[in-house]
Structure 1
């Protein structure tokens, strides 16, 4: 008799540190909200706190449990996670980002009642030795590692994770309708002239993003074209020092720090050029959103960016720290409207064809089905006790 492994709904627990407004959290929320309900019962567990995406999940009727982790290592919250998972009885636990990846595998034990998937979202060169050591110690408790780019997968392969238990699933991105509506209002809000050329950066203001390099670039660019203005969208520990840097460079009149914006995706569509100066990434959501909006991009020449941008096809790749390169390529784009339109449209097409949200969700669903089938087969083959 043939056994069907897909007759029952797959119970999926998604575990993540917070539901703050950031890239991994956004991808997880899209996934949780769009998996087919007739196949998957999804429950989200946030280790530390909720955030803006908590409301999005609840509106999509996805249950959310906040576990209240207080410290980096918090045994009480680990016990709460273990208790919550045992009560939910998942078939698969899928964890996202370092803290959740560690906690989820530790509470699962050596012979877990569920399959364990971990998501790694960045080329994590920031990790300390003890964090990499812990990752390696927990490999045997990991059924699958999902990277969002080939570069992320390669990083973890080099650090000892078996290639046959890796899967690459790129981020999914929505391609909005193109509309310049709101640009005039934005220029008025920022007290900029009608002919201003808007260059934008979206991301956490942390050293990894190398926003200071972008300040050098806007200082160079504004000397060649006084219409240029850099919009920095996001918050982070570097904000105060970056504001002071604009004063020291005398480019403060050409930079606007906008902080967190709930309408960041809409603002991206109003830009003339998008900048990303990071020295490491996983797969940048903001870069993908800019490309999906039809905005030409100038970004650092690092492996994850090369997976999204072909030089002179959807934008330009520049060496890390090359402020002059950013300025020169951007000047070319703002002086040649047809070139900017051509590169922007190529990026938009690339996002639509290769990086859709549906494709991201379908790839995860396929992985979950395979793991669930393996789990059911293993249970079926086990001798009775």
Structure 2
């Protein structure tokens, strides 16, 4: 398995971006000629995304995919046009591979991000531009996110081959409950229009049902399904036993942490050895959420709040857990935590939601599905997995096999193959 690269914050100095230097009248034939000269050889990729040391907003996914792409012999150079650093103090230091360069040239919630990104594209002249985004990647306001949805088509109109990895869709996200906005007629039309604009470029989705929505509702023609990806098989064999429930991620209301705490507390009435580990921090869109949970439940002796977990500590965290539980009220795309658990060969209990059924069926992973917000079924499922080491082994081995087949090295190669097909069109 390839070792994850690191980023040194001290070296991540944002290169100055000068929107006033942006020339909208770029020479399209020069761009296409430059790309055509190189498309028979190694590729120069521009990757636009949030990126570590920032957290959330698909930054962690971007980190792992870039790691896989950077090790691909068909990639000559990767320039990441990333958001400016806003992470808390104490975030791990990062160092980029030789072929990867990061330019911190845009910021969330800033409409000026569009000209800044376009200005930096002009300087780099890539073979292909890859956007990594979701419903709220560009900021909290509807206007900023709508402008973000314009960027891929704008870049395409300027003559660059473009690919978007679209991680979630308005049709699959409960916007009211997530607290993004009320789904009235105006917002529904805005979502439809934003998705329609995105569907005009080449799109990759991590769930097959998203591809069906784009094709049937938006009449999109250039849609591909590529699975989320994993860290590969990090462990050689599955470990079983113990009585530790692990939940992990960036927490907000939809991850339903109070229900899991109540479920574990009720199980402990008959089995006082069971404990719960809550690993992670508040989601950037919900600052202070986990801190409020700790104020309410922090006195409980069976709960351990670890805070944010660096990559170096992941192996110990997962290997000492018995089962990973994700009792979400609704989904916002494929589950990165599920794929992380698979890399460590862990059994998973997850809410029975359309996105997760799609994910399991398409990728070959294994999980115990429970109805969302059903505490009694969740209790019975936890008791079943914790008390059955053969079940732990069977689920864990299937997940470990899936993780090996869908490592980010393999996913990176699928993207490289797609890059070449797009450039050739």
TM-score of the two chains, using structure 1 as the length reference: 0.80
Unaligned runs of 5+ in 1: 184-194, 375-385
1:42-81 CA distances to partner (integer Å, 9 max, x unpaired)?
A: 110113337668825x145410000142x52432x32221
**Deviation of 1:202 (Å):** 0.9
2:149·2:198 contact (CA, 8 Å) conserved in 1? no
SS of equivalent to 2:309: coil
Specify the SS of the correspondent of 1:258.
Answer: strand
Offset from partner CA, 1:284-314 (integer Å, 9 cap, x none): 121122123121111101123224447xx93
Q: 1:82 to 1:28 in 2, by over 3 A?
A: same
Give 2:128's aligned residue: 92
Q: Of residues 98, 109, 115 in structure 1, which corresponds to 2:161?
A: 115
**Displacement after TM superposition at 1:104 (Å):** 7.2
Runs of 4+ aligned residues of structure 1 deviating over 6 Å after TM superposition are: none
- So what's the TM-score if we normalise by structure 2? 0.73
2:84 to 48, 63, 69: 48
The equivalent of 1:165 in structure 2 is 222
Q: Distance in 2 between matches of 1:212 and 1:131?
A: 33
Counterpart position of 2:308: 260
Output one character per residue of 1:159-218: Cα deviation in whole Å (capped at 9) or x when no partner.
Answer: x4334221111122111124799x9xxxxxxxxxxx961110111111222222212221
Structure 1 residue 351: deviation in Å? 2.6
Match of 1:30 in 2: 64
Whether the aligned pair in 2 keeps the contact of 1:180 and 1:270 (CA below 8 Å) is no
Larger mean CA deviation between 127-136 and 142-151 belongs to 127-136
Give the 3-state SS of the residue equivalent to 2:403 in structure 1. Answer: helix
Find the aligned partners of 2:368 and 2:157 in 1 and give their Cα distance. 48
1:241 aligns with 2:292: yes
Contact 1:292 1:347 (8 Å CA) reproduced: yes
Report how many residues are paired.
Answer: 349
Q: Does 1:197 align with 2:243?
A: yes
Q: Structure 1 residues 60, 34: closer, same or farther in 2, change over 3 A? A: farther
Question: Which of 98, 101, 123 is equivalent to 1:63?
Answer: 101
2:320 — aligned with what?
A: 270
Residues in 2 aligned to 1:53 and 1:78: alpha-carbon distance in whole angstroms: 29
**Structure 1 residues 33-42 or 222-231, which shifts more?**
33-42
Gaps of 5+ in 2: 1-35, 139-144, 182-186
The aligned residue for residue 230 of structure 1 is 276
